Structure 1
Amino acid sequence: MRSADLIRFNMRLLTRQWFRTLMILLATSVGVAAVLLLTGLGEGARRFVLEEFSLLGQDTLIMLPGRKETTGGLPPLTGEGTRDITLEDVNALGRLPGVRRVAPLIVGNAQVVSGGLNREVVTLGTSARFFELRELSLQRGRSLPDEPLERASSVCLLGPEVKQSLFGNTPALGEWLRIGDRRFRVIGIIEDRGQSLGMDISDQVIIPVASAQQIFNVQGMYRVFLQLAPGASIEATRQQILDLMQQRHGGERDVTLISQDALLGAFNDILQLLTLSVAAIAAISLVVAGILIMNITLISVSQRTAEIGLLKALGARAADVRLIFLSEAALLSLLGALFGFALGYGLLWAGQLVWPVFPVSVPLWALLGSLAIALGVALLFAWLPASRAARLAPVLALRGEAQHA
């Protein structure tokens, strides 16, 4: 039987049994769409996280208090140490020849009051170098003063959301507000850049690091960002930093240095594994579609017994009969996969409209894999009823009996 004749024969059959065809197409398309949707979201999450951490730059190191050994797993995001990283340590790090910029960071929640309005806001204590290192810009006003880290100046910068909630549409520059138990004068409004490294700068207040120490009653730094000098070797500078901190902390190496490459590599591996896991879970729905194809094909064999007998009486071989049922299952799975592609990409496109900053994309392996699984499962589950039809004796089949020869 020619391929064109086989396709026409199956298409007439599928349109004649439209309800059965619709059920199989629906089951297959939902399974394929689920694979595309979950892998697209997983791949989007992976790209989103990697883009966020890539903002640090390859020449930036993050120092955490406490030492934690890593052996190929996720670099530690928290550290536990008996000795704080002090402002004196930060100043000493800034004097290393391989270090270009050092930005200390203290993070805490503080009550911010302006007039009769107040709200709890994430407050960052840092220095002017933090703006240069993180490439932050201002809507208006000026950045933190470039002065010694130990000076607790009473100035602050507001994110646009904080400014709007406290001052509305009135100008905020030059106004005074209270953060914790201290008064600060607003000297700048930060440009909104959305989420970055898990922090929404637009909804935060930035003050000098020494002022943050007083408000939160802490001495140690939460993090220290170190940007390497141009041409400096990462490994050599990294060793210099660790040696200096060990010397200043009484011979104990109690800090952890994280590079961007370590973060990106670890997060990439984890998110790829998660994407594969959710894709495997979604692929289970294609197995359910295959079981449906098998059941309907078994029913079709019993209903078409006389037709099978006629084909065999006209000279059709057992392989031809088997091919008819297998090609029918393959055609159904391919059509269902195409509908699934349209549904999956449509949902992802709608999600992109709702959240445009999320870089949704479907990897090629998910596209080809879902198609291969849909086709493979359909042929696998259709093989048993197709073989049953191929074994029918022509005479018995013509009489409408489904006994095996």
Structure 2
Amino acid sequence: MRLSDCLAFAHQALTRHRGRSSLQLLAVAAAVCSVLLLTALGEGARRYVAAEFAFLGKDLLVMLPGRKQTTGGLPPLGASLRDITLEDMAFLARQLPRVRLAPLVVGNSQIRQGARSRHRPVLGTTMTFFTTHKLRLVAGSPLPDVPATQATPVCVLGAGLAQELFAARSPLGQWIRIDDRRFRVLGVFHSASSNLGWQLDDSLLIPVGSALALYDTQALFRLFIQARDGQPLSPLAQRLEQLMRQRHQGNLDVTLLQPDAMLATFSDIMATLTLAVVGIGAISLLVAGILLMNLSLVSARQRTAEIGLLKALGAPARLILQLLLTEALLLTGLGGLLGLAVGYGLVTLSGWVYPGFPLAIPPWAALAALACALGTGLLFAWLPAARAARLPAVASLRGRL
């Protein structure tokens, strides 16, 4: 029998039982769609993290107070034998003139302008922070280039915070209050990155000396070190550890993080999680296959007379098996294509609704889901099809299966 005749026979058999065929079609489509959506979630999370780390650049090191001695787990959140201070930063600047150093002090304060008040993060840093974190100045000027120890009552607002406090008015030159202190607005900046969930656009930058005075501390929350002239980061990290050990009387009580290395670790983790959720989605394909097998058994039982007639006309068992398997492949193929269409449609819709989270279906996932659907249909339809093909013609004509 020609392939076109085989497909026409399978199409007629499926359209004669529209209810059963529609149920099988929807089961396969739902299974394929679930695999695509779960894969898109894993891939979207991986791309989100990759974009956040890539935004910091591959030439940046982050120094944290506290030493993480064992592998795995989260970095220290601030506990250390000695804090990182501006004196440490000045010492590193003298020893390593080819790097940029950007200190960071973090607090949360009430910010008031007229009758409007907001609680927002306040970041104490220097103008170098604009370079290390690729902040774009929207209006005005950045933080002044003054000594880090100097407390100057000026600030630069994130674009989101500026909109909340001043609406359509220009904030440049205006005075705001941070807790009980007055600061004059020098400029407005915008950050293209959410900084791993931390919206810099909703924060406020002040000179690091002002932040240390405002929060009555000498400790830096983080110290960002940016390599210049293409310096490799690994030797630079070793040199920094050596200098900090020397500075802290032989104790290495800081941790250096390299965004590029962290990105590689996160990519491995997200790839593993993506495979795990794909495995969970594949269970739905297994359920759809079991449903397909049950419905195939019912279909073969209902069509014993038709199968017996084909055998009486001289159709061999191999042809009967071919016809029944063609029906299963046609059904799962159409269900798989429908699942692909629905899956891509939902991912596109989510991109419009949640543009900040880049859901994406990798090409291998679509091909794998369709191939698994076809393989599942073929595997689970084989048993009822082979059983019907082996049945003698007389038994088939009598309606026995």
TM over 0.5: yes
Q: Indicate the residue corresponding to 1:384 in structure 2.
A: 383
Q: Indicate the residue corresponding to 1:150 in structure 2.
A: 149
Q: After TM superposition, give the deviation of residue 297 of structure 1 in Å.
A: 0.6
Structure 1 residues 56-113: Cα deviation after superposition (integer angstroms, max 9, x where no partner): 2211111111111454x46736353121001111111222336420001112211111
Cα distance between partner residues in 2 of 1:292 and 1:235: 56
Cα distance between partner residues in 2 of 1:354 and 1:228: 39
Specify the code of the residue in structure 1 equivalent to 2:188: I
Q: Indicate the residue corresponding to 1:38 in structure 2.
A: 38
Q: Indicate the residue corresponding to 2:180 in structure 1.
A: 181
Cα distance between partner residues in 2 of 1:351 and 1:344: 11
Q: Indicate the residue corresponding to 1:270 in structure 2.
A: 269
Structure 2 contact 40–360 (Cα < 8 Å) conserved: yes
Q: Indicate the residue corresponding to 1:345 in structure 2.
A: 344
**Alignment TM-score, normalising by the size of structure 1:** 0.94
Structural mapping, 1:2-401, within 5 Å: 2-69=2-69, 71=71, 73=72, 76=75, 78=77, 80-97=79-96, 99-193=98-192, 195-401=194-400
Q: After TM superposition, give the deviation of residue 358 of structure 1 in Å.
A: 3.5
**Alignment TM-score, normalising by the size of structure 2:** 0.95
Specify the code of the residue in structure 2 equivalent to 1:17: H
Specify the code of the residue in structure 2 equivalent to 1:40: A
Structure 1 residues 355-404: Cα deviation after superposition (integer angstroms, max 9, x where no partner): 334333211221121112111211221122112212212112112222xx
Cα distance between partner residues in 2 of 1:6 and 1:401: 25
Specify the code of the residue in structure 1 equivalent to 2:90: N
Structure 1 residues 191-211: Cα deviation after superposition (integer angstroms, max 9, x where no partner): 353523322121111111122
Structure 1 contact 103–130 (Cα < 8 Å) conserved: yes
Cα distance between partner residues in 2 of 1:232 and 1:401: 80
Cα distance between partner residues in 2 of 1:223 and 1:271: 26
Cα distance between partner residues in 2 of 1:77 and 1:268: 21
Q: After TM superposition, give the deviation of residue 215 of structure 1 in Å.
A: 2.3
Structure 2 unaligned spans of 5+: none
Structure 1 residues 127-181: Cα deviation after superposition (integer angstroms, max 9, x where no partner): 1110111121211111111111111111111112212222222221111111122
Structure 1 contact 75–263 (Cα < 8 Å) conserved: no
Structure 2 contact 245–253 (Cα < 8 Å) conserved: yes
Specify the code of the residue in structure 1 equivalent to 2:7: I
Cα distance between partner residues in 1 of 2:390 and 2:355: 57
Structure 2 contact 67–80 (Cα < 8 Å) conserved: yes
Cα distance between partner residues in 2 of 1:24 and 1:77: 53
Q: After TM superposition, give the deviation of residue 254 of structure 1 in Å.
A: 0.7
Cα distance between partner residues in 2 of 1:120 and 1:26: 50
* Pair 1:303–1:10, CA change in 2 (3 A): same
Cα distance between partner residues in 1 of 2:38 and 2:369: 12
Structure 2 contact 55–193 (Cα < 8 Å) conserved: no
Runs of 4+ in 1 over 4 A off after TM superposition: none
Structure 2 contact 61–226 (Cα < 8 Å) conserved: yes
Structure 1 contact 310–398 (Cα < 8 Å) conserved: yes
The count of aligned residue pairs is 401
Cα distance between partner residues in 1 of 2:79 and 2:205: 25
Cα distance between partner residues in 1 of 2:156 and 2:34: 45
Specify the code of the residue in structure 2 equivalent to 1:283: A
Identity %: 50
